[in-house]
Structure 1
């Protein structure tokens, strides 16, 4: 082992000790083969020396950088890999997309039958199980339906909320027996919209006070539709009723405060906002998922459950270094470092130049490419 000056390093050498940021996070892990982008990262963090494999003398000392004393974050140092963060980004897995399309079709027919107060819930459950059999291939930031249409916005939102809510239920530690019920909560949270005039649902301009009040009735309609459905539990029904409640009591329809809002509703509130804002719809275009997460983070102060929000953001942004992204400037680069305190604003390498999104606040990640 050899302690080497960063300025003298060449691509291809292997680290024999972790390299830490000034705040204690692991910048590069032991065993990492240094490529040109890693050398750029070391220089950007002004690391002076690192320990690498080599035949030259072994000093037995580990180079350190002055730090504020914090322990390294698990977000950057996970010996088990992606198991403690969001599942590693998937390929375009055919089975997941196939089951997604079947679920989408079934949701459409379920919204139609719900007008008469009927849902083919056992058929829905069977297809839900088939879809969730491939949930490990679903990454919240990376998955994109094969075909989308503004006409189908609410149906896509339902299926995506089911998948994301299922993951979020796992991430916050709910018992396994509840995971599929949380998925149902995500799938059916807006079922009450079946009884709202489609012209009102898709109105491209601002709603009048009377129209807005009618729109809010979808929460009550949803609970009424689901109250006689035997295959879902009360949490699913309450998610339909309460997913627009806020923990400070400013939501609707009952102005409930934090402890009175069901946990399923708190989960679905977050996934619904995320997918609603990142899908194209009649009254608005899709927004950047990273920009939406920053808005959700702001909502955590008094509106959404802050613990669930932070769990959601940290898990979905725990992308591997090397993930290709497109910035709002339309430049394409690779994520090279993510700060656990600011997970929506990582450092991105673009043609060898490091862009620190924490410093360049006017920029944000527009799209995760691969």
Structure 2
């Protein structure tokens, strides 16, 4: 083991002890082989010295390759971390997109038949199972449907909420028997909109008080539609009824407090807000997912289940260092460090300069590129 000044370090050395931030957060783990961006992070946090593997260790350098007119690049740079992002990896989520499109078509059919209560749940169940076989390829901040239209916003919201609610159910530790039912809850939470006048649903201007009251009835309409559907449990029906309730009792239609809102509804509420704000609507364009996550975090105080919100934010922002992102000023860089206390505002390296989004509050991540 050798103690070395950070100013003297070169890329390719291996840490033999964890490196922490001044506030005690883990910055770099023991065993990490330092890349050029890691050196920038150490300097940005004013780390003076670190413990590295000495000359007798197993690994001291990662081989580099240099080509004419280019800077040296790492041969083995983050191979494991970037697995699945090459050309073959780009095709990896093709089955997910195919099943997504099939589910979207089926949801449209469900909305058309909802008036009679004939939701073709046998087909819905089979299609949901086919879609969820590929849910490991679904990342909320990276996935984008191949074709979207403001006219089909509600159908996309339904399928995305199904995928996201399924993940959330797993993340918060619900029993496996609930996972598919929670996915149904996400898929069908807004089915009551099938009974709302389309002109009202798509009205671009502000609603009157009477129109707002009718819009709110989609929750009770949804419960009534699902009431006699045998393939779903009571949690799915209550998710349709309660997904606009708030934990402080300020929601609708029943002004329930958090203790009386079903867990499915609390899960779907978070997924619904996220996708409603990150999809294009008739009256509003899509917003940055990172900006939306920060708004959801604010909603956790009195409006949404704080445990579900925190789990959601921590999981969807858990990218490896090196993830490429585009900022709100259109500059492209790589995530180099994420503080668990502020997961929506990581440090981003742009052309060798570290941008700390905790300090640069006017900036935010607009898009996760890869």
TM-superposed CA distance for 1:30, in Å, is: 1.9
Separation in structure 1 between the aligned mates of residue 193 and residue 137 of structure 2, nearest angstrom: 30
Corresponding position of 1:152: 152
Corresponding position of 2:191: 191
Which whole-Å deviations, capped at 9, do the CAs of 1:104-127 have from their partners, x for residues lacking one?
110011110112222001100000
Separation in structure 2 between the aligned mates of residue 228 and residue 331 of structure 1, nearest angstrom: 52
TM-score when normalising by structure 1: 0.90
Q: Is the 8 A contact 1:314 1:340 kept in 2?
A: yes
Runs of 4+ in structure 1 deviating by more than 4 angstroms, as ranges, are 87-92
Corresponding position of 1:251: 251
Q: Is the 8 A contact 1:88 1:319 kept in 2?
A: no
CA, structure 1 residues 129+56, in 2 after alignment: closer, same or farther (shift >3 Å)? closer
TM-superposed CA distance for 1:142, in Å, is: 0.8
Given the alignment of the two structures, is residue 223 of structure 1 paired with residue 202 of structure 2, yes or no? no
TM-superposed CA distance for 1:303, in Å, is: 0.5
Corresponding position of 1:132: 132
Separation in structure 2 between the aligned mates of residue 171 and residue 177 of structure 1, nearest angstrom: 14
Which whole-Å deviations, capped at 9, do the CAs of 1:159-215 have from their partners, x for residues lacking one?
000000000001111000000000000000000000101111111111110100000
SS in 2 for 1:215: helix
Separation in structure 1 between the aligned mates of residue 223 and residue 121 of structure 2, nearest angstrom: 15
Q: Is the 8 A contact 1:243 1:266 kept in 2?
A: yes
Question: Gapped runs of 5+ residues in structure 2?
Answer: 58-79
Given the alignment of the two structures, is residue 238 of structure 1 paired with residue 238 of structure 2, yes or no? yes
Q: Is the 8 A contact 2:84 2:90 kept in 1?
A: no
Q: Is the 8 A contact 1:347 1:356 kept in 2?
A: yes
Which whole-Å deviations, capped at 9, do the CAs of 1:240-280 have from their partners, x for residues lacking one?
00000001111000111110100000000000000000000
TM-superposed CA distance for 1:226, in Å, is: 0.2
Which whole-Å deviations, capped at 9, do the CAs of 1:67-106 have from their partners, x for residues lacking one?
xxxxxxxxxxxxxx99xxxx99874511111111110110
Q: Is the 8 A contact 1:19 1:30 kept in 2?
A: yes
Q: Is the 8 A contact 2:185 2:240 kept in 1?
A: yes
Which whole-Å deviations, capped at 9, do the CAs of 1:281-309 have from their partners, x for residues lacking one?
11110000011011111111111011111
Matches within 5 A, 1:205-220: 205-220=205-220
Q: Is the 8 A contact 1:2 1:56 kept in 2?
A: no
Q: Is the 8 A contact 2:117 2:229 kept in 1?
A: no
More off after superposition, 199-208 vs 110-119: 110-119
TM-superposed CA distance for 1:31, in Å, is: 2.1
TM-score when normalising by structure 2: 0.90
Matches within 5 A, 1:207-356: 207-356=207-356
SS in 2 for 1:253: coil
Given the alignment of the two structures, is residue 22 of structure 1 paired with residue 5 of structure 2, yes or no? no
SS in 1 for 2:113: helix
CA, structure 1 residues 223+135, in 2 after alignment: closer, same or farther (shift >3 Å)? same
Corresponding position of 1:60: none
Q: Is the 8 A contact 2:166 2:182 kept in 1?
A: yes
Question: Gapped runs of 5+ residues in structure 1?
Answer: 58-80
Corresponding position of 1:67: none
Corresponding position of 1:164: 164
Separation in structure 2 between the aligned mates of residue 341 and residue 32 of structure 1, nearest angstrom: 22
Corresponding position of 1:143: 143
Number of residues of Structure 1 aligned to a counterpart in Structure 2 = 343
Q: Is the 8 A contact 1:88 1:139 kept in 2?
A: no
